[in-house]
Structure 1
Amino acid sequence: MEAFLISTGIVALAEIGDKTQLLAFILAAKFRKPLPIILGILAATLVNHACAGALGAWITSLLGPQTLRWVLGISFLAMAAWTLIPDTFEESEARFARLGVFGTTLIAFFVAEMGDKTQIATVALAAQYHSIVAVVAGTTLGMMIANIPAVLLGERIANRVPVRLVHGIAAAIFAVLGAVTLAGVRFGF
């Protein structure tokens, strides 16, 4: 349960103001069909994060416990710093309009999420918690928590969310995870 809850919380916070959330705003404004956009986000996130979770599990099979602890601790600290850097979005990431609303969203989200901080976080969390299903379910739920309101409410909420504060909270959580991982502390709920 810990892996699911932490994964959900971290990704939901890290996704606020992220380029994929900006993509959700743009797709919602362009197509005005929320259901296929939401389903496209869900499908793209499940596939992308399942691959990231599998990579995280594979990494744990390559590294010994001490090396893995250092790699993960430093990765979480790097994620804390990266979370504080504002994302940019390029319109070219949403150029698949001929594929329909669902297809455009699926491909645009999958591509935009490649190498994104939430994908990297999924790799690290899967390696940390040794539970691909719980981590992928949590990171996917976190993406949906952040992106469904972006699709449904769009610009009405875009300017009301204190993005810097939310990113600061996400960065603090990543930093705490990094510190406790480096210290060798394991929590159990």
Structure 2
Amino acid sequence: MTSFLAVFAIAFAAVLLVELPDKTMVATLVLSTRYRRRPVLAGAGAAFAVQCVVAVTAGGLLHLLPHRILEAAVALLFAVGAVLLFRESVTGADEEAAAEVGLTGTPAGPELSDRRIFGISFGVLFAAEWGDASQLATAGLVARYGQPVAIGLGAFLALVGVAAVAVLIGKVILRRVPLQLVHRVAAVLFAVFAVLAGVAAVRG
């Protein structure tokens, strides 16, 4: 059985690769340029926590399936994630959003309360992560390894790390990192996971 730390590292690396940089970073960066940073990060962290719980729960339910069906489900999850990532790398949607955010300066937002900023940030990031490749990866890894705590913690810390980086140095990264390349590398990684799970399903 794979150790706790090894599974944690796999989940952290997989989610970090998918989300850095991705619409999660772009959305957090937009929010942090308009509103105060602390409630933005708090709202984002709360959204990530809920999304990770949902993904871990889904993966835990899949883990109860018979081995062959489980591997087929994991293969499907990662295959869908690979398609989503490859499509983003082709359309360049994140590059356009990043360009708009990074080049238009820092707009002055309205004077909202911390509670209001928290709610806005929670809603935006919760919606951005719903059905995202990172959520699919989290569910797939839980289904595969059966260690929800290690995987949920790794995924959550990766997402919070991406949000923190977005707030601190997001503009610099989004100007210099080729987003299409990152998405394609992540898509290849997901495709490899899908193939391995598919082979395991066939072998039974």
The question of a shared fold, defined as TM-score above 0.5 by the shorter chain, is answered with yes
> How far is the alpha carbon of 1:182 from its aligned partner?
2.2
1:53 aligns with 2:56: yes
Asked whether the 8 Å contact 1:76–1:124 carries over to 2, the reply is yes
Alignment partners' CA distance in 1, 2:197 and 2:136: 16
Structure showing greater radius of gyration is 2
Alignment partners' CA distance in 2, 1:5 and 1:183: 23
Asked whether the 8 Å contact 1:80–1:172 carries over to 2, the reply is yes
Counterpart for residue 150 of structure 1: 166
TM-score by length of 1: 0.83
Counterpart for residue 73 of structure 1: 75
CA RMSD of superposed structures (Å): 2.1
Letter of the 2:6 partner, please give it: E
Quick one: percent identity of the two aligned structures? 30
Asked whether the 8 Å contact 2:62–2:73 carries over to 1, the reply is no
> How far is the alpha carbon of 1:160 from its aligned partner?
0.9
Counterpart for residue 120 of structure 1: 136
Structure 2: gaps of 5 or more residues = 98-111
**Secondary structure of residue in 2 paired with 1:101:** helix
Number of aligned residue pairs: give it.
Answer: 176
Match of 1:85 among 84, 87, 108: 87
Letter of the 1:19 partner, please give it: K
Counterpart for residue 38 of structure 1: 41
TM-score by length of 2: 0.78
Q: Which runs of 4+ in 1 moved over 3 A?
A: none
Counterpart for residue 21 of structure 1: 25
Report matched runs for 1:101-116 at 5 Å: 101-116=117-132
Structure 1: gaps of 5 or more residues = 90-96
